[in-house]
Amino acid sequence: MTDLRLPVSVPSTALFTDQYELTMLQAALRDGTADRPCVFECFTRRLPEGRRYGVVAGTGRVLDAVEGFRFDAAQLDFLRERGIVDGPTLEWLAGFRFHGDVWGYPEGEVYFPGSPVLRVEGSFAECVLLETVILSIMNHDSAVAAAASRMSAAAGGRPLIEMGARRTHELSAVAAARAAYVGGFAATSDLAAGFRYGIPTTGTAAHAFTLLHDSERDAFTAQVESMGRGTTLLVDTYDVREAVRTAVEVAGPGLGAVRLDSGDLLLMAHRVRQQLDELGARDTKIVVTSDLDEYAIASLAAAPVDTYGVGTQLVTGSGHPTCSMVYKLVARATSTEPGAPLLPVAKRSTGGKSSVGGRKWAARRLDEDGFAAAEVLGTGEVPKDLAERLLPVPLVRAGSVIGREPLEAARARHIEARAALPLSATQLSRGEAVLPTEYL
């Protein structure tokens, strides 16, 4: 693989964790509870305010993180020098490999409050170590994917380009581009995301290229000669009307597209469309950018816009940069003896932080028209009418990843899952989750 000298992936994810995961491990090793079989679940107690559904994203990255969770010599030396854990714990960590099972909602699926998006089963020791890295990935990627899904729905089938790399951490940008693709975006401007995940990439020129030249005509001529008549010319550096006229003169009626990045986009799109048609460039498309979010995209639904480019609001979750997912122990064995029964456990809390104990199954009940009607969770026997509607799928079995799939599959799944929700799911007005969560 080409050495980009950019850590688009990391050799080990073992220190992507909080210190107390390791100190809990040390204490559990000492008192003999580390090997107790346990069940942890990753879920959210509520959706972000105003959101009607969540989107599962990051599952594929979680599988990579679990495989890469290994403590190398340098990391162990760091822990030893800082005195974070004792010698026996360091020895245990040196040979760590996750040998448990992971089940989860397949990537691209939608979720609701309480949905067990991931279920991790194994010894307490091996499961607790994965908490922070799983939450880091799922909270970030699912937030971006939810924003992308809302924007995709608002776009009504028009393609969207992810352009937020410059508005977030360089590694977050790669993850955000991946999550946006799952949520319905068609391409990214970020080459690291294209390299790492095979996402289509796109991009032509910024205002700096126009300002570099002695005239706008010179800039357009240079770009067309370099990239061909199908390129996209940025037409709002100076006077938009003059720039459109010059663009068509330089590239001819076969000009691929023009881009608008400022001003009243609704008004400008109509004016530019009319001018392009009058100049004979009827097939030239219009791309709009400039701090768009789902509301701005929806407001342009009646405008002659062909493609949207979105940056800041997308990579920051459009106001909700996290999904508030948690990773909770919901069941543990009564002892380390083989076959010891699992005991449901749950935190008792006020202030909305309570959770439901027990290893859960999850299914989606449909109405008579085939649309989703409820998210149903339970810890007992699965009702016969829901047996074919179970949502979690096996992702890791006995430490081996078995649920990895192409990113395209997750993207297609999301389109299908969103289409199966009630129509009100895509409304941008504030409201509660579009499906109720029922516990059996």
Token pair 């448990």 in the structure block, residue:
100
Query: For the chain, how big is the Rg over CA atoms in Å?
Result: 25
- Inter-residue contact 57 to 180 (CB < 8 Å): no
Reply yes or no on domain 204-305 having CATH 3.20.20.70.
Answer: yes
Collapsing DSSP to helix, strand or coil, 393 comes out as strand
Instruction: Place domain 19-127+323-410+419-439 in its CATH homologous superfamily.
Output: nicotinate phosphoribosyltransferase (3.20.140.10)
Label residue 393 exposed, middle or buried (CB < 10 Å: 0-12, 13-18, 19+): middle
Give the pairing of strands 307-310 and 160-162.
parallel
Tens digits of per-residue pLDDT, 206-252? 999 999 999 999 999 999 999 999 999 999 999 999 999 999 999 99
The C-alpha atoms of residue 258 and residue 396 are separated, in whole angstroms, by: 47
Query: How is residue 410 written in tokens?
Result: 């997750």
Query: Where in the chain are the domains?
Result: 19-127+323-410+419-439, 204-305
Segments of the chain scoring below 50 in pLDDT: 1-6
What's the Cα-to-Cα distance from 51 to each of 46, 59, 299, 312, 437, rounded to whole Å? Answer: 10, 21, 19, 19, 15
- Give the pLDDT confidence score for residue 10 in this predicted structure: 64
Site of tokens 């991009």: 203
Closest of 204, 196, 213 to residue 234, by C-alpha: 204
Q: Which pLDDT score is estimated for 339?
A: 87
Cα–Cα distance measured from residue 270 to residue 317, given in angstroms and rounded to the nearest whole number: 29
| Predicted local distance difference test score (pLDDT) of residue 8 | 55
Stretch (H or E) spanning 401? strand 400-401
Distance, in Å, from the CA atom of 385 to the CA atom of 54, rounded to the nearest integer, reads 25
Strands 325-333 and 37-44: antiparallel
